[in-house]
Amino acid sequence: WIDAASLDLLEVLVRDTASMPLLVVVAYRSEIDPKVRGRLLDLPTYEELVLEELSPSDVEPVIAAKLEQQFGGGVSAVRAVIDMIAERGNGNPFYIEELVNFLKRHGIDPSDPAALTQVDIPESLQALVLRRVDSLDPRPRQTLKVASVIGREFNEPMIPGVYPDLGTKPEVLGYVEELGDADLIVRSRQGDDAWLFRHAVTREVAYEGIPYQMRTRLHEAAGAYLEQRREAIGFNLDLIAHHYWYGENQEKKIEYLRRAGEAAQRSYANSSAIEYYERLAEVVEQAERSSVLLKLGEVLELVGDWDRAEAVEREALDLAEAAGDLDAVGWCQVGLAEVARKQGRYDEAAELLNSAAARFGEVGNLAGRGRVLHLAGTIAAQRGDLDEAGRRYVDSLAIREEIGDRAGIASLLSNLGVVAEYSGDLAAARRNHERALATRIEVGDRWAIAVSNTNLGMIAVLEESFEEARDRFEEAMRLNEEVGDSWMVAVGHNNLGNALRGLGDTTGAKAHYAVSAEEYRSYGDRWATAFLLEDVAILAMDTGAPIVGIELLGAADTMRNEIDTPRAGSLSEELERRAADCCSVESERSRARRRGRGLDFAAALAHVAAFCTAANMPADS
């Protein structure tokens, strides 16, 4: 078992230490949640080692060692006892250990041929552990059950704090020591009051043995105990939310699911945020559900689950419209517009933004109007209307400055830098991006810092400062992996391909382009794919595969026409010049361009993959 926040942390740890001589070992049981295992499998350096049941030849030495530990070296177990333990244990060392412990507790002599006729041995590991738990004295048994509610790991003082009926702190400490002596729990850190269940099965059995109503009361008591320590609420927010979720105090359940979700979203613990918002949406009143779903949609959009983000935000919109909440309607339409924009559905996105602007105007929401103008500027830029984009950005910037939105100001400086770049003014573009980066560092938003590094890397490519570009893109990708923005990671691979192409590393460039192509395919992102096709076309034309390159330009022509996003004039001129330089016969260029224009989205990306994974030799030879 692993909670969502710990899984997020594990992913960041593994990715950030990938180049270090460090081995991270994760132990889990076969019943692991398939979604959790899937995320482990997605880690680039992950290897799974399956620990199968012990073989018959390995089982007997384990049995012999455990019998010697419990009964002394002078005891020679009869064959029937050894065979019973081996058969029942099924190669599971913990089960074998518990069987031997059972014989010891019941005074069974393993050297006695009649030993197995003297006692009824439980048929399963869980039943065996349950028999052992039930054999404890009442107070230690109750202590074990309270501890099982607290968690796999627990602190001694928390047990009487959660269930005072157990007795005084010294009395409870004595019960905990008894459980330690019985080898049911072990100290998790020497010298302090933290303990750990020795095996997950022991905790599961103790927990399942608590009646439901008592279990919910204990969870609520655990949440209240942690909540009382206000100086540690931030540190324990996930635990408090966990305990109140399994309790019946709806007010506390809602409060801490919301607080934990918002905290997880701020820190880009995306899996945790999704889990908390999903739970919160189940328990809030209908009037609040729309705002919760909108937050859920924001996180889903960030992690690249655009289809689900759109579905969730449409549900939020329906709820907001039914409630007559114009402000919520506007924000839901903004969220839907952003998903549509990322997929190249510009007309739909513009229509949603126009409607949102009207809603925000009716309720006087300046922040909403500023966001609408911002996104409208981005759509105009992607469609090639740089003058309109600049006007929208400047209007949005004025609103952001009026309301003191520093993060929004930085974002607009970044976008104005992109407009300057597309207009050919690289010096102005760099100034805007550097101002945006400085503000974002002050604000401390890792995702936004990654965006600024990406934009400065793009300027470095255009200035042919390819080493700076590579460094900027690598830092941006590191940050995007940390915050879980998989779409921006895909963009990062595209950008790194460009930087390595400029440095003459053809093999490295191809590898990054291939990864980017596969990710864009999964997202259905035609806007980003058009740029990728052109970037790979340049590499192909520069490395002796001119026909492949011109075909990819033709495919990019079609894609840009489909989503109504024309090339900037300077880019168009550069691509035409390169095509003419590498293939001087106009009729050959025209035929290759027509073939490329006939490729659909999937076929175009397949063409990229074929070129990038082919051996390093002229593709047109």
Q: How far apart are CA 429 and CA 421, in angstroms?
A: 5
pLDDT band for position 219 (50/70/90)?
very high
| Region of poorest pLDDT, from 5-19, 448-462, 467-481 | 5-19
316, 309 contact by CB (below 8 A): no
The per-residue pLDDT for 251 is: 96
Beta strands in 180-318 (DSSP E): 185-187, 194-197
Choosing among 1.10.150.120, 1.25.40.10, 3.50.50.60, 3.40.50.300, the CATH entry for 253-377 is 1.25.40.10
| More confident site: 442 or 82 | 442
Q: At what angle do helices 386-403 and 406-422 cross, to 10 degrees?
A: 160
Across 203-228, average pLDDT: 95
| More confident site: 400 or 82 | 400
Q: Which tokens is 231 given? A: 């100086």
pLDDT of 113 strictly over 90: no
Across 433-440, average pLDDT: 96
The per-residue pLDDT for 593 is: 95
pLDDT of 20 strictly over 60: yes
The per-residue pLDDT for 21 is: 87
Across 27-32, average pLDDT: 80
Kindly give, in sequence order, each residue whose CB lies less than 8 Å from that of residue 407, ignoring residues fewer than 6 positions away.
439, 440, 443, 445, 448
For the chain, the residue count is 621
Task: Tell me what percent of the residues of the chain surpass a pLDDT of 70.
Answer: 98
Locus of tokens 């990715």: 15
Across 450-457, average pLDDT: 97
Collect contacts of 573-576 with beta carbons under 8 A, ≥24 apart. Answer: 575/534, 575/537, 575/538
For residue 271, how far is the Cα from the chain centroid?
Answer: 5
Question: Which among 402, 390, 427, 432 is positioned nearest to 414, based on CA atoms?
Answer: 432
The per-residue pLDDT for 191 is: 57
- For the chain, which residues make up each domain, given as ranges? 4-42, 56-117, 132-238, 253-377, 485-621
Choosing among 2.60.40, 1.10.3470, 1.10.10, 1.10.8, the CATH entry for 132-238 is 1.10.10
- H or E stretch covering 154: strand 153-155
Task: Tell me what percent of the residues of the chain surpass a pLDDT of 90.
Answer: 64
Beta-carbon neighbour count of residue 305 at 10 Å?
A: 18
Number of H helices, E strands in the chain: 31, 3
The per-residue pLDDT for 140 is: 96
Mean pLDDT, all residues of the chain: 91
pLDDT of 615 strictly over 70: no
pLDDT of 619 strictly over 70: no
Across 269-283, average pLDDT: 94
pLDDT band for position 372 (50/70/90)?
very high
List, in sequence order, every residue forming a beta bridge with 185; answer none if it has no partner. 197
Question: Which among 556, 313, 572, 262 is positioned nearest to 424, based on CA atoms?
Answer: 572
Burial of 352 by CB count in 10 Å (0-12 exposed, 13-18 middle, 19+ buried)?
Answer: buried
pLDDT of 621 strictly over 50: no
Q: How far apart are CA 281 and CA 262, in angstroms?
A: 13
The per-residue pLDDT for 190 is: 54
Kindly give, in sequence order, each residue whose CB lies less than 8 Å from that of residue 570, ignoring residues fewer than 6 positions away.
424
pLDDT digits (tens, 9 = 90+) for 81-97: 888 888 888 888 888 88
pLDDT of 446 strictly over 90: yes
The per-residue pLDDT for 1 is: 65
- Among 111-125, 216-230, 564-578, which range has the highest average pLDDT? 216-230
Q: What is the pTM of this model?
A: 0.75
Across 151-175, average pLDDT: 93
pLDDT band for position 160 (50/70/90)?
very high
Across 333-340, average pLDDT: 96
